[in-house]
Chains A and B, each alone.
Chain A
Amino acid sequence: MTFTPIDLRGIVAPFAAIGKALEHPRTVCYPAQTKTVAPDYRGFHTNDLSACIGCANCQDVCMNDAIDMVTIAQERNTRNKSGCIPRIDYGRCCWCNLCVDVCPPDSLGLGQECIHVAERSDTFLFFPKDAS
Chain B
Amino acid sequence: MMESKQIKIFHGPQHPGITGNMSVELDLIGETIQRARTHVGYLHRGFEKLVERRTVLQAFTIVCRICVPEPDPNEENFARAVEGLAGITISERAQYIRVMVQEMSRLAAQLLWMGGQSGSIGLGTVGQWSLYDRDLILDLFEQLTGGRVYHMYTFPGGVRRDLPAGFLLRLSELLDYLDKQLPRYDKIFFDNATFRTRAIGTGVIDSDTALERGYVGQALRGCGIERDLRRDNPYLVYDRLAFDIPTFDGGDVYSRALVRREEMRQSIRILRQVIAQMPEEGLVMQKLPKHRKFTLPKDDIYVATESARGEFGYYMAGDGSAHIRRMQVKGPSLIHGFTLLEPLLEGEELSNVALIMNSLGICPPEIER
Contact of B164 among A39, A95, A101 (CB under 8 A): A39
Contact of B58 among A16, A40, A98, A110 (CB under 8 A): A98
Answer yes or no: B30 CB below 8 A from chain A CBs.
no
Q: What is the number of residues of chain A that contact chain B, defined by CB distance less than 8 Å?
A: 31
- The residue of chain A having its C-beta at the shortest distance from the C-beta of B135 within the complex is A26
Q: Which residues of A contact B57 (CB under 8 A)?
A: 61, 98
Task: Find out whether the CB atom of A38 lies under 8 angstroms from the CB atom of B291.
Answer: no
Task: Find out whether the CB atom of B291 lies under 8 angstroms from the CB atom of A10.
Answer: no
- The residue of chain A having its C-beta at the shortest distance from the C-beta of B164 within the complex is A40
Answer yes or no: A121 CB below 8 A from chain B CBs.
no
Contact of A63 among B54, B132, B196 (CB under 8 A): B54
| In the bound complex, CA of A11 to CA of B164 (Å) | 45
Interface segment out of the listed B21-29, B140-148, B208-216: B140-148
CB within 8 Å for A14 and B58 given contacts A1-B202, A3-B197? no
Task: Find out whether the CB atom of B187 lies under 8 angstroms from the CB atom of A37.
Answer: no
Most interface-central of A1, A26, A60 (chain B CB within 10 A): A1
Binding site for B on A (CB under 8 A): 1-4, 7, 9-11, 13-14, 16-17, 20, 26, 37-42, 60-61, 63, 94-98, 101-102, 110
Closest 6 CB pairs of A and B: A10-B193, A63-B58, A42-B146, A96-B61, A13-B187, A38-B143
Type the 1/0 row for B173-210, where 1 means its CB is closer than 8 Å to any CB of A: 00000000000101110011110111011100000000
A81 to chain B, nearest CB (A): 20
Q: Which residues of A contact B198 (CB under 8 A)?
A: 1
| In the bound complex, CA of A1 to CA of B121 (Å) | 14
Q: Which residues of A contact B196 (CB under 8 A)?
A: 4, 7, 10
Task: Find out whether the CB atom of A2 lies under 8 angstroms from the CB atom of B58.
Answer: no
Task: Find out whether the CB atom of A17 lies under 8 angstroms from the CB atom of B146.
Answer: no
Task: Find out whether the CB atom of B59 lies under 8 angstroms from the CB atom of A38.
Answer: no
Task: Find out whether the CB atom of B152 lies under 8 angstroms from the CB atom of A97.
Answer: yes
CB within 8 Å for A42 and B191 given contacts A61-B291, A96-B61? no
Residues 14-59 of B at the A interface (beta carbon under 8 Å): 54-55, 57-59
- The residue of chain B having its C-beta at the shortest distance from the C-beta of A95 within the complex is B147
Task: Find out whether the CB atom of B59 lies under 8 angstroms from the CB atom of A10.
Answer: no
Task: Find out whether the CB atom of A1 lies under 8 angstroms from the CB atom of B187.
Answer: no
| In the bound complex, CA of A10 to CA of B194 (Å) | 8
Q: Is the interface of A mostly helix, strand, loop or mixed?
A: loop
Q: Which residues of B contact A7 (CB under 8 A)?
A: 193, 196-197
Q: Which residues of B contact A16 (CB under 8 A)?
A: 184, 187-188
A14-B194, A41-B146, A61-B58 given; 20 more Cβ-contact pairs under 8 Å: A1-B349, A2-B200, A7-B193, A7-B197, A10-B192, A10-B196, A11-B193, A13-B186, A13-B191, A14-B191, A39-B143, A40-B146, A40-B161, A41-B142, A42-B147, A60-B292, A61-B57, A94-B150, A97-B152, A101-B160
Task: Find out whether the CB atom of B61 lies under 8 angstroms from the CB atom of A14.
Answer: no
| In the bound complex, CA of A97 to CA of B145 (Å) | 10
Answer yes or no: B338 CB below 8 A from chain A CBs.
no
Answer yes or no: B238 CB below 8 A from chain A CBs.
no
Q: List 28 A-B contacts (CB under 8 A).
A: A1-B200, A1-B202, A3-B197, A4-B196, A4-B197, A9-B191, A10-B194, A10-B196, A13-B186, A13-B187, A14-B193, A14-B194, A20-B129, A38-B143, A38-B146, A38-B164, A39-B143, A39-B164, A40-B143, A40-B145, A41-B142, A42-B147, A63-B58, A63-B59, A97-B146, A98-B58, A102-B290, A110-B146
| In the bound complex, CA of A13 to CA of B191 (Å) | 7
Answer yes or no: B125 CB below 8 A from chain A CBs.
yes
B60 to chain A, nearest CB (A): 8
| In the bound complex, CA of A7 to CA of B191 (Å) | 9
